[in-house]
Chains A and B, each alone.
Chain A
Amino acid sequence: MQFVDVMVRQAHPGPAEPAYATFEEKREDAETYQREEGISWPVLVDDLEGTVHQVYSGLADPSYLIDADGRVAYYNMWTYSPVLHQAIEALLAQGGRGVVLGEGIDQTPHLMPSMTDGWKGLRRGLPQSFVDMETAAPTSATMMWLGHQLRPLLAPLTLREKPLPASAKIVIGGMVVAAAALVLRSRRGQASG
């Protein structure tokens, strides 16, 4: 497996990180990104027009799993590690070739990772990035700040690398049912009392 990152435009520009005026600025950010995130694989720098990014959808955060023949094996439109983990395992299991996991596409807008981890990016463009984000989608920037504060609590669930085991799903499902039952009971109690 070879991992590759491609650096795209500023998603949330601000005074310290304005829209790129030159390719050199973009390259410098890619170097800082690689260093700050401790990325050991290549970080590539797309041109200012986003030629490669736009050919590959122009989405904010997509991932493509490409098979040994250079074909798309899985298209994760909103990058989500547990899904990619499954896709990579499936691809390796079938010898590194072919489409995996049914139709080979995940269109689900996975927002929990960016709600937990997105503040790191938004913080670089403060204060404009925050104002723009709140204007574009009210409360979303605040939620990202909150997600960052609660990161130690949320990360094991929202930033996990692998799919949850069936036992964990049963436990979480049980907790949701129990919580709903408690709410219903207290409401009935209030109604009769």
Chain B
Amino acid sequence: MTTPVTTPEAAERFAALTEKEPLGEYNYTHFRTKHLLQDAQRTIQKQGILPGEIAPDFELPRAGGGSLRLSDLRGKPALVHFGSFT
């Protein structure tokens, strides 16, 4: 089984998150009202990486093979979008 690759930077940022969800809660089996409320709260609190900040580096496997490291894209602008299959 292939395991994802993350950089120490992403792993450290993850470990430092105060409101991170454990696996069972993050990888939920039912969509609930609390997920909507959580997103509303995160939006109001501007959670995430704010404008002007260095985007924490990560390296992840690519669909179709290989992997991509964010910092390899330096030198030109990039658009990173997060989304779900469902």
Contact = CB atoms under 8 A, between A and B. Distances in A.
In this complex, the member of B31, B48, B78 whose beta carbon has the largest number of chain A beta carbons within 10 angstroms is B31
A2 B75 CA distance: 11
Contacts of A11: 31, 84, 86
A6 interface: yes
Interface residues of A, number: 87
Contacts, number: 270
Interface stretch (A41-49, A166-174, A177-185): A41-49
In this complex, the member of B48, B49, B70, B84 whose beta carbon has the largest number of chain A beta carbons within 10 angstroms is B84
Nearest to A44: B60
B43 A107 contact: yes
Contacts of A65: 77-79
A64 B74 CA distance: 14
Contact of A77 (B48, B54, B57, B64): B48
Given A11-B31, A58-B21, A64 B79 contact: yes
A49 B13 contact: no
Interface of B: 1-4, 6, 10-11, 13-14, 17, 20-21, 23, 26-33, 35-36, 38-40, 42-44, 46-58, 60-64, 67-68, 70-71, 73-86
Contacts of B76: 1-2, 68, 96
Nearest to B62: A42
A144 interface: no
Contacts of A124: 85-86
B46 to A, nearest CB: 7
A51 B81 CA distance: 15
B70 A70 contact: yes
A43 to B, nearest CB: 4
Given A57-B48, A62-B82, A92 B53 contact: no
Contact of A62 (B17, B28, B48, B58): B48
A57 B82 CA distance: 10
A61 B62 CA distance: 19
26 contacts: A1-B76, A2-B77, A4-B68, A10-B84, A13-B30, A27-B63, A44-B61, A45-B4, A45-B63, A47-B4, A52-B10, A55-B58, A56-B49, A59-B43, A59-B82, A62-B81, A66-B55, A72-B53, A72-B54, A91-B77, A99-B52, A121-B85, A124-B85, A132-B31, A133-B31, A136-B33
Contacts of A56: 48-49, 56, 80, 82
A169 B11 CA distance: 45
